[in-house]
């Protein structure tokens, strides 16, 4: 993995590059790494996906969204992630669900994957964060991956208040109205918005419990990492509090409108 990719991946996992090799162990008990899988399945339910449909999951992690979508709708999925160990789990889960032949997991930097345009029916961008900065830039990239009339699912959130947020990785968050403006700036339509705050809270607490337990085990195995592990867990606790106070979790389903600028 290049330095640039390592930085993006560790940002999305809210850790630093030195802790990255330990993340598969710390996250071993979790399948979904932050996204609201059940809500994603709910918004995708009415799109009429079938065995002919193609889906792209950018930052697919362990396939917690990709595999259930493929299993439920029989579509074909391409998942892209730079963490090879997560993709091993994704492939294992795909086999367990009997959908391995419909899933293709690619170990690549998303930034490189999206250099080419594609014509997927649906692109999913769940809990990957601000790798392109604003949501407007994110939509600009995602819409180039789908056909005209295709769909985008973004699992993220917006700021509760209008003032700029000072916390690292959250500077790009805007209030609700500004966020809706960013999502539709290129002419696309928001079909559904789901408030995922309550569900995200649950997921974040489960995430915290899990990494605390695994963190304690890792400290016994690698005492030299004690400070790093403890500061990562502390950062996650602060993150949960910050999210509770400042961010509304949101899941959007957008439809790409034809003949518009990219
Ligand atoms: C918080 S996890 C979410 C994973 C998955 N969407 C889920 O909800 O279970 C973010 C994922 O994005 C991946 N990621 C972040 N930036 C990336 C990049 N530039 N290229 C490839 N993968 C990236 C990370 O490796 C990680 O698996």
Q: Whose CA is nearest to atom 16 of ligand 1?
A: 9
Residue pLDDT tens, the chain, 262 long: 898 899 899 888 888 888 899 999 999 999 999 899 999 999 999 999 999 999 999 999 999 999 999 999 999 999 999 999 999 999 999 999 999 999 999 999 999 999 999 999 999 999 998 899 999 999 999 999 999 999 999 999 999 988 788 888 888 999 999 999 999 999 999 999 999 999 999 988 988 999 999 999 999 999 999 999 999 999 899 989 999 999 999 999 999 997 655 4
Q: How far is the CA of 259 from the centre of ligand 1 (A)?
A: 30
- Secondary-structure percent of the chain, ordered helix, strand, coil, rounded to 5: 50, 20, 30
Q: How far is the CA of 203 from the centre of ligand 1 (A)?
A: 16
pTM, two decimals, is 0.95
Number of other residues whose CB lies within 10 A of the CB of residue 21? 9
Closest CA to 83 of 29, 31, 16, 10: 10
Local structure of residue 15 (DSSP, 8 states) = S
Atom of ligand 1 at shortest range from CA of 32? 9
Q: Whose CA is nearest to atom 15 of ligand 1?
A: 9
**What was the pLDDT predicted at 14?**
81
**What was the pLDDT predicted at 155?**
97
Region of residue 187 (phi > 0: left; psi between -120 and 50: alpha; otherwise: beta): left
Q: Does domain 3-12+33-197+248-255 have CATH number 3.20.170.30?
A: no
Question: What are the structure tokens assigned to 241, written together?
Answer: 């509090």
Helices marked H in 125-225 — which ranges? Answer: 135-142, 176-183, 197-221
- Cβ-contact 213, 230 below 8 angstroms: no
Q: Is the CB of 69 under 6 A from ligand 1?
A: no
């Amino acid at each position: 993995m290049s330095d640039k990719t390592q930085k993006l991946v560790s940002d999305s996992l809210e850790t630093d590059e030195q802790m990255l090799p330990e993340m598969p162990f710390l996250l071993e008990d979790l399948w979904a790494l932050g996204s609201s899988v059940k809500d994603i399945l709910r918004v995708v339910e009415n799109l009429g996906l079938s065995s002919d449909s193609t889906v792209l999951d950018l930052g697919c992690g362990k396939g917690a969204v990709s595999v259930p979508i493929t299993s439920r709708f029989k579509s074909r999925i391409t998942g892209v992630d730079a963490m090879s160990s997560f993709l091993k789990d994704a492939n294992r889960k795909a086999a367990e669900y009997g959908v391995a032949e419909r899933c293709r997991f690619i170990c690549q930097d998303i930034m490189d994957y999206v250099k080419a345009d594609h014509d997927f029916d649906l692109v999913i961008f769940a809990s990957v964060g601000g790798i392109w900065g604003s949501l407007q830039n994110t939509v600009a990239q995602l819409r180039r991956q789908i056909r005209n009339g295709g769909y985008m699912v973004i699992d993220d959130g917006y700021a509760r208040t209008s003032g700029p947020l000072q916390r690292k990785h959250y500077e790009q968050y805007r209030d609700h109205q500004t966020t809706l403006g960013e999502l539709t700036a290129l002419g696309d339509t928001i079909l559904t918005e789901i408030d995922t705050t309550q569900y995200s809270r649950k997921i974040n607490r489960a995430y915290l419990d899990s990494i605390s337990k695994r963190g304690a085990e890792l400290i016994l195995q690698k005492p030299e990492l004690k400070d790093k592990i403890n500061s990562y867990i502390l950062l996650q606790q602060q993150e949960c509090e910050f999210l509770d106070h400042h961010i509304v979790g949101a899941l959007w389903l957008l439809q790409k409108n034809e003949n518009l600028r990219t």
